[in-house]
Amino acid sequence: MRPRAVMRARGLTLVECLVAFVVSSVLVAAIDASLVAGQRFAHLSAAARSARQNLRAAAAVLRGELESVSPAADLVALADSAVRLRALRAAGVVCAVSSPGTVVLDDSRFSQLRTADPARDSVRVFVERDPFTASDDGWIAAAVLAVRRASCPGGAAATALTLGAAPSDLAGIAPGAPLRVFELVEYRRYRDAAGAWWLGIRNASSGGWSAMSPVAGPLRPAAGLVFRYVDHRLLPTGVPDSVALVEADIQIYDARRLSGPGRHAAPVVDSFTLRVATAEP
């Protein structure tokens, strides 16, 4: 009878342990590097998305305000860092004139971003004096003295505005006249207490100018928002009445030095040039 074979347990040698340690270290380092690269890419992607969203917001706000601007009446002051304008806040049609200086606007045809405010707003209303003569027609400007609820002839809900202007101008307002409500605002680049630059807005009222409120940013330091103004000949101009096109270079800025695939660590900057033709007077 042959003796039974005996299985003996064999441990790892020192060399095998060292090899296993080196291989596992390489794998851990590779996984760690992959995770770090993924985190950096995620941070870079998030910063790029945020910059793009801020850029779109800035462009949308400025475009919305500038598209309705009439240079002869609404552009007030021009600078490379700021533009001051009368911004459209409501528009409607007069359904009745309840008394000299008080016009009634049908709410169903009165489009408002907000309720008219006597402390902040003014209006322009179209006056047709002689129906057989076009040369005496035109827009008149007036202050808003009071706002109240009212009704149009027939009972439709309406808003009544009491206007402040010359009696001769107010006497020419008739039902059917278009009316626009404006607010004096200023858009500019400014620096906050922490040193960051922003596109901001402030509005004028009977109490003076409000504090600056941020619209979009942060901007690239010092030059993240630059306005330019050109006339019908595409020549630079500083005269509000002659502006045919407003351009705004906008650069959104993230100061964090972020890296990614094929990109060295650097701040994130996204830019856009907005061009808006002004409305006819």
The pLDDT tens digits for 206-254 are: 889 999 999 998 999 988 999 999 999 999 999 998 999 999 999 998 8
pLDDT digits (tens, 9 = 90+) for 63-104: 999 998 888 889 999 999 999 999 999 999 999 998 878 999
Q: pLDDT tier at 263 (50, 70, 90 boundaries)?
A: low
- Residue 171, pLDDT score: 80
* Mean pLDDT calculated for residue range 249-261: 80
- Residue 200, pLDDT score: 95
CB hemisphere CA count around 155 (13 angstroms): 0
3-state SS track over the chain: CCCCCCCCCCCCCHHHHHHHHHHHHHHHHHHHHHHHHHHHHHHHHHHHHHHHHHHHHHHHHHHHHHCCCCCCCCEEEECCCEEEEEEEEEEEEEEEEEECCEEEEEHHHCEECCCCCCCCEEEEEEECCCCCCCCCCEEEEEEEEEEEEEECCCCCEEEEEEEECCHHHHCCCCCCCEEEEEEEEEEEEEECCCCCEEEEEEEEECCEECCCEEEEEEECCCCCEEEEEECCCCCECCCHHHCCEEEEEEEEEEEEEEEECCEEEEEEEEEEEEEEECCCC
pLDDT digits (tens, 9 = 90+) for 164-189: 988 877 888 889 999 999 999 999 99
Against a cut of 0.85, is the pTM above it? no
Summary mean pLDDT of the chain: 84
CA distance 222 to 142: 38
* Mean pLDDT calculated for residue range 255-276: 79
> Would you tell me how many other CB atoms lie within 10 Å of the CB of residue 77?
11
Of residues 57 and 256, more confidence is placed in: 57
